[in-house]
Structure 1
Amino acid sequence: MRPEEDGPAFNAGDEWRSVIATYARPGVAQACLLLQEALGVDVLVLLHLAYAQGRGQGPAGPEHVGRADAAIRGWRDTVVRPLRAVRRALGKDDPAVRGLRADIQRCELEAERHGLALLSAMPWPQGGACAPGAVQHVVRFYGERGGCLARASEPDVAAAIRLLENHLE
């Protein structure tokens, strides 16, 4: 993309606060995690594109999902997912590792905050109409990439998609 076509990036702190508030809405966290498990959705990409859309800057199409995924892929694969795997491996019920698990969860959250900062710094193309569709673009991108798009029609997954469309778009 040529620099003259790029618009300003987002303020990472403002976006983080907005994403945290959105994630805390009833049902949003559970719906995001269900899409993450069922379709491989990157929740940060989903919330970032919904934030951009809410500010009239996208998504103009699925290319924004691909750009966002490319911007965060390395960080997600080398830092966020390994932290998540360690946290999950520790489990919730072992009192001997409860403190360690909480520390790793804090590290995971900070890693996600940095990932969102990477997304916030992405330039956005100027012009073009902003139409709703962040959730559908993200679902389609990750579902097709993972070969599991058919799962989007499963009742619980479809309900999660509808909930997110109502809360994010």
Structure 2
Amino acid sequence: MTAVDDSPLGLFSVDLYARTGVATSCLTLQDHVNADVCMILCLLWLAQHRRVLDRRDIDVLEGLTAPWNKTIVRPLRTVRRALKKSNRLLDNVATHDALKDLKKLELETEMLQLKRLYDDGKVMHWGQHSDSISAAAQRNLNTYSELLSTTFPRSDVDLLIAATLASEADQLG
């Protein structure tokens, strides 16, 4: 992810996504259970602030950006992935440059989605307080997976929670 959004959510997302295994887990959830990576990052950021959201809260939160994700982010991803496949057939500089530009644009649209989530302003006050970041992250991810009518793989959930805790520890110094 590129840092076009310097909001606390944007900065957290860039930091978390760069941690070992996080990108792979997020993309696994995106590709296999249709999870929105920006929603996952937002839910983990809220968990880091010890906020636990219920199903209704997550549904409303998703509604803030679902149209953007559906009409802008996902189509860009589809085009980028199709070009990536054809890039193997059309191995030339122009195709490579177009692929690079599409990836950058896709990441920028995801950062704009995160900015929209943060700019709502009320999001920091949603949900209930939790004494534990780990418990909040677990609940938020479980509730989101239920909303998607699926179960997130335990290994991905554990990795994302560990990375969120490590991010918090790094911030505290």
TM-score interval (norm. to shorter):
0.7 to 0.9
Partner of 1:36: 30
Aligned partners of 2:128 and 2:147: how far apart in 1? 25
SS of residue matched to 1:133: helix
Counterparts of residues 33-112 of structure 1 (less than 5 Å): 33-56=27-50, 58-91=51-84, 93=88, 94-96=90-92, 97-112=95-110
Measured against aligned partners, the alpha-carbon deviations of 1:37-63 in whole angstroms (never above 9, x if no partner) come to: 22211110111121122123x123233
SS of residue matched to 2:52: coil
Shift of 1:36: 1.1
Query: How large is the Cα RMSD of the aligned pairs?
Result: 2.3
SS of residue matched to 1:116: helix
Alignment of 1:158 onto 2:124:
no
TM-score scaled by length of structure 2: 0.76
Partner of 1:129: 129
Paired AA for residue 78 in structure 2: A
Greater fraction of residues in helix: 2
Measured against aligned partners, the alpha-carbon deviations of 1:9-67 in whole angstroms (never above 9, x if no partner) come to: xx8533212211110100111011111122211110111121122123x1232333212
Aligned partners of 2:112 and 2:77: how far apart in 1? 15
Compared CA separation, residues 117 and 27, structure 1 to 2 (3 A): same
Partner of 1:4: none
Aligned partners of 2:113 and 2:42: how far apart in 1? 10
Compared CA separation, residues 46 and 95, structure 1 to 2 (3 A): same
Aligned partners of 1:88 and 1:135: how far apart in 2? 31
Paired AA for residue 54 in structure 2: G
Partner of 2:171: none
Shift of 1:70: 0.6
Paired AA for residue 69 in structure 1: E
Aligned partners of 1:134 and 1:16: how far apart in 2? 18
SS of residue matched to 2:7: helix
SS of residue matched to 2:54: coil
Seq. identity, %: 25
Q: Which runs of 4+ in 1 moved over 6 A?
A: none
Instruction: Report how many residues are paired.
Output: 151
Structure 2 residues without counterparts, runs of 5 or longer: 166-173
Structure 1 residues without counterparts, runs of 5 or longer: 1-10
